[in-house]
Structure 1
Amino acid sequence: MAKNSDRPRDFDAVLGGQTPPPVGGVVLGGMEGLRRRFAASIVEERVAALSDALNYGDAGIDLLVEAMNEREIIVRVTAYKLLQNVSAAKAKKAIARGIPLNIGDRIYSVYKSDISYGDDWYYITDSINQYYQKEYPLYKPGIDRSDKNLYYITNPEDGMFKYYDDCEPKLISRHLFKESAEAEAVLFHAVRMLEVNISDIWRDYPNPIENFNINEWCAANNVPLTCQDDEEEFQFETRVLQTLQNEKNLELLGQLWELIGFNRRLAFVHEDIINKKAYLQPQGNL
């Protein structure tokens, strides 16, 4: 018998104790221990157990395949990612359609806001409505027409998204985790702030900050500009914004964007609740 065989190994579960295990605790090794860990009520512990599954060969793969049907989305996603690294036929079959989504799951879509001319100014559209979703639906039927209940989540590469009408936001990506979607939207908004022609975009007045003084703001933030006698405040604000654009100063540009009344975002997140069983074929960060 191996030395210290009563001590738990890296992938073992301990029955009847805490860490370190008490005298008399029972060490559960192998798949029995792994399955006990996976049966834990705490989601983080279940995910950690899956991370060790591939150390147990075919039995571990079987557990990952089972986990693809679990209630928690993070468990399904973890199993999917791990199975992507497995060449066994049963692993490839389990992930062939993508990540299974259940009724009640949430999906977060990142959109590029539309900027369109409206007779006097350019206006930002940073939301979608039911008419948009009818034209560009969340679901598409599976290729196998014999299964009428097989649906997939649409993605930016689908043909329907290649021919947008004017004045409509554009789908960028789909995500299963809100944090990932919001991070991408923030980044995309920042990049677009450097690209748009700010002087033509409508801003909401009055300024959201009462008694906001842009001269004082420039002085406080070491922006070496002042409003000229023959310059309207609107013109000066635009000049400051364009200067920050040219300098690629995203931090100050983002501050001023909101301070002077640009209350809309150049990219945004839309949340949908899944109302039918479907599959998401991941593209990029979930």
Structure 2
Amino acid sequence: MPTLPSGGSRPPAGEPHEYRRAAESFGSDAERYDRTRPRYPDALVERIVSGGPGPGVLDVGCGTGIASRQFRAAGCTVLGVDPDARMAETARRLGTEVEVATFEAWDPAGRTFDAVVAGQSWHWVDPVAGAVAARRALRPGGRFAAFWNVFQLPPEVARASAAACRRAMPDSPFDFEAMTRRAVDVYRPMLVKAADGLREAGGFDEPAEWSFDWEWSYTRDAWLDMMPTQGALTRLPAEALAPVLREVGAAVDALGGRFTMAYRTVAVTALRTVPA
């Protein structure tokens, strides 16, 4: 959950969507990403599908197709867009049609959709240009929904993770202290920027927030398997990653070798208004 900082060492304008090396690094181990990343609550998928005018879904930053497969299982027809050809290749192999492009530059070629969704990806998209692209791709009455799985590590694991990452990446632009703060507070700026982007783009009703609370149990090995898929760690060489995993593993061992993660899936959503 480390985020880019509000000051200091960071990309030129300090926004996640401008940090392209991180945004396009997840395909370095696409199989691990798909295997370990958490899914999304069925209640979220059902609410998006039931509130739309039809079954056509555009999945922005679809990655390996985790959310896409959930929407397909709910009866939708899904097209994914992702800037990483490696992630797209895995998504296609698992049954999702994908076009490779950044969303801001993607050409819908006259196609429109009943929902535009973005799971764990909208912070990598320019919030205004992305909202304009979403408006163009949505049918009137269609729903936009960007959502994130926000997790709260046990305090002992959070402190060990932050300390290990700081030692391994002292010059990183990521804010590792975010791991030790209240998770929803860390994500609040992303939610605000997403909503403000929709307002500035125009053509949407007033954005709303949804949230869904749930839990997941991790063994030591399961958590360490997922950690290298996090944005701060995807580009870290194996020799630098190993001590991070050792330190975090020791913290999980001290808890008995497993822990229960508190998750909250948060969404920013709005309907495409019907032209007068």
The answer to which structure has the higher strand fraction is 2
Instruction: Report the TM-score when normalising by structure 1.
Output: 0.24
The answer to which structure has the higher helix fraction is 2
Instruction: Report the TM-score when normalising by structure 2.
Output: 0.25
